[in-house]
Amino acid sequence: MPPFGTLAVPQSEDRAVLLAYTVVGTLLLVTGQQLAKVARRAGRAEAATRDAADHLLQVERDARHRFDVALNSAGVPFFIVTPVVRDGQVTELRWDYLNEAAAQLFNEGSGVVIGSSTSYVRPAGWDADILLERLAPLAAQRHGRDAFDVRVQGGNGEQWFHVVAASLDGSVVAWFGDVTARVRAEQALAEADRRKDEFLATLAHELRNPLAPIRQVAEILEQPGLTDGRRKWCTTLLRRQSAAMALLLDDLLDVSRITRGALSLRKEAVALKEAIDDAVETARPMLDGKGHELVVKLPARPVHLEADRLRLSQVIANLLTNAAKYTQPGGHIELTATADEAEIVLSVGDNGIGIEPDKLSAIFSMFSQVNPDHHRQGGLGIGLALSKSLIELHGGRLTASSAGKDKGSCFSIHLPANCRVVPPEMPTRDALAIPSSIKTRRILVVDDNVDAADAMTALLELEGHEVRTVYSGEEAVEILSRYSPEVILLDLGLPGMSGLDVARHIRATPSMKDVTLVAITGWGQPQDRARTADAGFDFHFTKPVDVGQLSQAIEGAVASA
């Protein structure tokens, strides 16, 4: 670029000054340019250093994030603690890190955990002394390692944790997991092993009990001059003791079959009274031998169940013999049966030694004994466990209750109401087999077929019963307001209000709950019997009704009243 003009400097001194400024200015300009280059290079270096620092910081953050994600996703509690040293000794531990699984074990009211002392803040139920005792020594080691179990009594009851800890640069890292299930399983195995040993000892004892009198009776029978009375006594004893041995072996076989899933029920329509009679007959020697008073209370109406008669009787007999066994001689035992729309309950109560509250939950376990002195009382400790399994196979449950030691106990069989059935028709009986003397009852006959109703009425009156007859469902409901029959013969195919509707009305009336209802119908298929059972009928007979069967049904109602 050309100069803008010229400047005249006449004085030589001024020219010297100007020259000096020009030289200095040129030097300053050159120096400034160099400094600018240096500044630019320094700026670039500083930026590179800052970027490197930011990069290192981001790498550290990413590593910490991956560390947290890895430890949290594992789902296993993990923590890091650092010892606090005072006067050369570790006095406490400080929480330095917790993953999410470990943090969840702390109470919400614990506040800030990180940085806190294990003496004041720790998982619920944990012992600070145990943590200090087991973890502090590891902090002083370079490659220390330890593993141990910790028992915790928390809000969920007793728990067990397995801790694996290791040294880490003056701190301690540790994983721990809930091993409660494992510890309980080990305890259960040890308890089962102990009970097995007790069971084998008891089995040997119980089998020797009947063998001793059997051997003695064998020697008695060899004696000359044995009287008929003594021989009869020997025979009775042999039968009783051999039956006792058979029961022991049957229980063992049944337990084995249930355990293997090989036991199946043979269900049929069973009269509850007959099953109870079988059980009482089985338990009678034990009851009489100890002079117990047995009271049996049955529902006024006959009850029939779809059940395995043998197994149901076996359970009831077991409850009766247990009651006899654990009740002092001359005790009182009561067997009560009730049936309603919800369930059927059979209870065996006694005034015997009772059961302590802490033992109630264990009495249905295999090989358990109600009384620790089981050798004196007898029994293998499998009867209640077997009974419980048999009732559960029937869809029911077995429960126990007691007010405490020496206050008696009660065992109850609960069966669902849907197992109640109408009994099948019995084989036709010869008319001559009909009892000539039947206790008279008040009977209501309901049938829209006038001739059939009147003929039935005449037959029942010949047997001495008091009979009323109506020809519709509406009339049946109306007459019940002024007449209280004990047995109702009810046709199902009534015009208007059907026999099923009448039955439901009767069962819904509290004052009529004990009436015996007999269905008279031309329908006899299984689904028809199911309908009458649901409506509350006690018997289901198809037309023409067999007189012998009807008389037996009325006789059964009388016997259960």
Question: HEC profile for 505-559?
Answer: HHHCCHHHCCCEEEEEECCCCHHHHHHHHHHCCCEEEECCCCHHHHHHHHHHHHH
> pLDDT tens digits for 72-118?
666 678 888 888 888 777 778 888 887 877 777 776 544 577 788 77
Instruction: Quote the pLDDT of residue 376.
Output: 44
Instruction: Quote the pLDDT of residue 126.
Output: 78
Q: How are the residues of the chain apportioned to helix, strand and coil, as percentages rounded to the nearest 5? A: 50, 20, 30
| DSSP helix/strand/coil, 301 | coil
User: What is the C-alpha to C-alpha distance for residues 347 and 28, in angstroms, rounded to an integer?
Assistant: 118
Burial code of 430-441, b = ≥16 C-beta within 10 A, e = fewer?
eeeebeeebebb
Instruction: Quote the pLDDT of residue 313.
Output: 87
Taking CA atoms, 287 is separated from 319, 321, 530, in Å, by 12, 7, 39
Taking CA atoms, 378 is separated from 261, 286, 316, in Å, by 28, 12, 18
User: What is the C-alpha to C-alpha distance for residues 232 and 281, in angstroms, rounded to an integer?
Assistant: 20
Instruction: Quote the pLDDT of residue 476.
Output: 92
Among 367, 394, 398, residue whose Cα is nearest residue 383: 367
Instruction: Quote the pLDDT of residue 452.
Output: 85
**For residues 114 and 93, is the Cβ–Cβ distance under 8 A?**
no
User: What is the C-alpha to C-alpha distance for residues 533 and 269, in angstroms, rounded to an integer?
Assistant: 12
Instruction: Quote the pLDDT of residue 430.
Output: 46
pTM: 0.53
Pairing type for strands 78-86 and 89-98 reads: antiparallel
Instruction: Quote the pLDDT of residue 332.
Output: 94
Instruction: Quote the pLDDT of residue 501.
Output: 93
**For residues 471 and 453, is the Cβ–Cβ distance under 8 A?**
yes
Q: What residues of the chain score a pLDDT lower than 70?
A: 1-25, 27-33, 35-40, 42-75, 107-111, 154-155, 195, 198-209, 212, 244, 247, 251, 255-263, 366-381, 424-438, 556-561
Among 116, 117, 122, 120, residue whose Cα is nearest residue 103: 122
User: What is the C-alpha to C-alpha distance for residues 63 and 158, in angstroms, rounded to an integer?
Assistant: 38
Among 437, 440, 442, 438, residue whose Cα is nearest residue 467: 442
User: What is the C-alpha to C-alpha distance for residues 552 and 206, in angstroms, rounded to an integer?
Assistant: 43
Please state the φ and ψ torsions of residue 545, each to the nearest 5 degrees: -75, 130
| Interaxial angle between packed helices 272-289 and 309-325, expressed in degrees from 0 to 180 and rounded to the nearest 10 | 30
Q: Which amino acid is at 502?
A: V
Q: Which amino acid is at 381?
A: G
User: What is the C-alpha to C-alpha distance for residues 367 and 354, in angstroms, rounded to an integer?
Assistant: 19
The helices-and-strands tally (H runs, E runs) of the chain is 15, 17
